[in-house]
Amino acid sequence: MMRNRGTMRFGAALAALLLALFITACAGALRWAPESYTVKEGDTLYSIAFRHGIDYRELAAWNGIGAGYLIYPGDELILQDPGRRPAASGERTAAASTTGTGGSRPSAGSQPGSEGRNDSRPTQPPRRRTDLNWVWPVEGELINRFGDGAMGKGIQIAAEEGSNVMAAGPGRVVYTGSGLIGYGKLIIIKHDDVFLSAYGHNQEILVDEGDEVQAGDRIGRVGLGRGNRSMLHFEIRSEGNAVDPMQHLPARR
């Protein structure tokens, strides 16, 4: 009888342990994120970093990409710090990948001022914060705040279709296109070593990658967003992380 009770207790303990391991595995699966990304035509390092919520400088450092941030279609970029995970057998990075013949490859996107790649992993420069005088990117009613709904990484501003979209601060245009699902025609501006801003659901894009802009410069025209409603989706990213634009934009009277 005692032996049977001991066996039952052991079985119950084993079952509890297996259940805990199963729950842990399921939780890990829910937190799964891709470890790599294959560069497509039209991508820039900034758009890839933006899509995956990574600081563009960290992405460049992990993949041995030089200061020009030049990437090519077919490159396989790792999306996690290689020092914090085991390297996969045969893994290749953008620094090592080659395509085509004769060593020449087409660019994944226009990236003016590119200086090519370094053979060795670059050291990240110190991050520099600047005081930006932000302005509202469009005149209109705030209809969704940061954290609300499926597009909660930014805010949505209702505005008349075709009205001007303006740069929220000075900087350089680092992406224009429709490659990020859910954003429509998107513009991304790099303001300094810390901040990027993004402008989604444009009807028309009026700038090119590499253009320098000032706060208030016209960069696009408002198009239709979710629910076929005329609006602008606006985001601010700080070191790759989405932050509440309302904490940076001037208060409205």
CATH number at residue 165: 2.70.70.10
Q: Are residues 114 and 194 part of one domain?
A: no
Q: Are residues 146 and 117 part of one domain?
A: no
**Residue 135 falls within a domain, yes or no?**
no
**Residue 153 falls within a domain, yes or no?**
yes
**Residue 18 falls within a domain, yes or no?**
no
Q: Are residues 115 and 176 part of one domain?
A: no
Q: Are residues 67 and 150 part of one domain?
A: no
Q: Are residues 111 and 151 part of one domain?
A: no
pLDDT, residue 98, reads 38
pLDDT, residue 227, reads 86
Q: Are residues 203 and 231 part of one domain?
A: yes
pLDDT, residue 25, reads 44
Q: Are residues 164 and 67 part of one domain?
A: no
**Residue 55 falls within a domain, yes or no?**
yes
Instruction: Please give the tally of structural domains in the chain.
Output: 2
pLDDT one-digit tens code per residue, 204-226: 999 999 999 999 999 999 999 98
**Residue 127 falls within a domain, yes or no?**
no
Tokens of 115: 């200086």
pLDDT, residue 152, reads 83
**Residue 113 falls within a domain, yes or no?**
yes
Q: Are residues 203 and 155 part of one domain?
A: yes
List the domain range (segments joined by +) for residue 229: 141-247
**Residue 25 falls within a domain, yes or no?**
no
Q: What is the pTM of this model?
A: 0.69
pLDDT, residue 13, reads 56
| CATH code, domain with 75 | 3.10.350.10
* Under-70 pLDDT residues of the chain: 1-33, 85-130, 253
Q: Are residues 156 and 220 part of one domain?
A: yes
Q: Are residues 153 and 117 part of one domain?
A: no
Q: Are residues 186 and 150 part of one domain?
A: yes
**Residue 77 falls within a domain, yes or no?**
yes
Q: Are residues 147 and 70 part of one domain?
A: no
